[in-house]
């Protein structure tokens, strides 16, 4: 059976990283499904936030303070003919303050409280949502499909939209299943891929992080070229500029290192490509 022992988030460099310590034994499998929410923080309706605050028993005086912030706000912009249009705002969590993440967590928490299928788990970091389904045979696909449908319905109830590019990866034990399962959500079929990107890291079915190392190699090359083009504007190289250059490249290279470091040390190819 495939067992995910613990999942926790860490703060590495400038971003959060998901680390999953897994133990695989026998012939069990696990399916991981990633759900993207379209323009999440700008689309959360204020009426949904108000309802969540009420359902969680937030005192009236605090709700009135939040309500005053989420009322009588407008956005003005010019259209093609030069006229100015004024529209009332009805959605968005306050960004740039501690209030924004708090209101998002209070509201989106209902997604974590929906009924669970056997062997299914839901993990959320901000708007990044993962569904993990584990089982001893390919029947896990049925549980994964049902659980995904429930999550998508709850996201819709909150007034949010999930993007169509839902990703899924299958993890297996020593033996790969003869027939890979299909995941159906309504009339839509979710394709099983070899890897998926979650919180900035490409996770693959073999935990080799091959796709992630290739992605990092390409990104470092782009960053290096961009910094090289800027160097003439900085009056050429200098010690401070070299240090800045190195720190920018290192931040890209070492993002999420505690997650993939073991795989990197075991891969001579990855070491050569990122040397």
Domain residues of the chain, as ranges?
Answer: 46-104, 201-274
Strands (E) in 89-166, as ranges, are: 120-125, 128-135
CA 131 from chain centre, in angstroms, equals 11
State residue 47's pLDDT score: 94
**Nearest 10 degrees: Cα torsion 77, 79, 81, 86:** -50
Residue 172 parent element (H or E):
strand 167-172
- Cα distance between residue 191 and residue 166, in whole Å: 8
Helix 210-230 with 257-266: angle, nearest 10 deg:
110
Residues in the chain, how many?
A: 275
- Cα distance between residue 78 and residue 97, in whole Å: 28
Among 4-13, 38-47, 169-178, the least confident range: 4-13
Among 11-20, 108-117, 126-135, 140-149, the least confident range: 11-20
Contacts of 192 (CB under 8 A, 6+ apart): 31, 168, 169, 170, 180, 181, 183
- Does the pTM surpass 0.75? The reply is yes
């Amino acid at each position: 059976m495939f067992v995910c022992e613990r999942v926790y988030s860490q703060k590495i460099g400038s971003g959060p990283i998901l680390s999953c310590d897994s133990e695989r034994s026998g012939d069990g499998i696990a399916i991981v499904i990633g759900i993207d929410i379209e323009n999440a923080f700008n689309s959360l309706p204020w009426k949904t936030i108000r309802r969540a605050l009420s359902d969680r028993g937030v005192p009236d005086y605090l709700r009135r303070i939040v309500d005053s912030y989420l009322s009588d706000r407008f956005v003005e912009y010019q259209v093609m003919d030069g006229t100015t249009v004024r529209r009332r705002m009805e959605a968005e969590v306050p960004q740039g303050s501690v209030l924004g993440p708090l209101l998002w967590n209070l509201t989106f928490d209902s997604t974590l409280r929906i009924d669970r299928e056997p062997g299914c788990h839901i993990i959320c970091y901000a708007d990044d949502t993962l569904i993990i389904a584990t089982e001893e045979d390919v029947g896990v696909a049925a549980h994964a499909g049902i659980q995904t449908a429930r999550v998508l319905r709850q996201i819709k109830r909150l007034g949010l939209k999930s993007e169509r590019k839902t990703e899924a990866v299958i993890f297996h034990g020593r033996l790969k299943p003869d027939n890979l399962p299909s995941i159906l959500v309504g009339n839509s079929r979710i394709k099983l891929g070899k890897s998926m990107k979650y919180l900035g890291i490409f996770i693959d079915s073999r935990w080799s992080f091959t796709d992630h190392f290739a992605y990092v190699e390409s990104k470092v090359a782009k960053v290096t070229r961009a910094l090289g083009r800027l160097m003439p504007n900085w009056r050429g190289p200098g010690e401070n500029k070299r240090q800045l250059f190195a720190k920018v490249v290192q931040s890209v290279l070492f993002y999420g290192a505690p997650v993939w470091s073991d795989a990197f040390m075991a891969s001579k190819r990855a070491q050569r490509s990122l040397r």
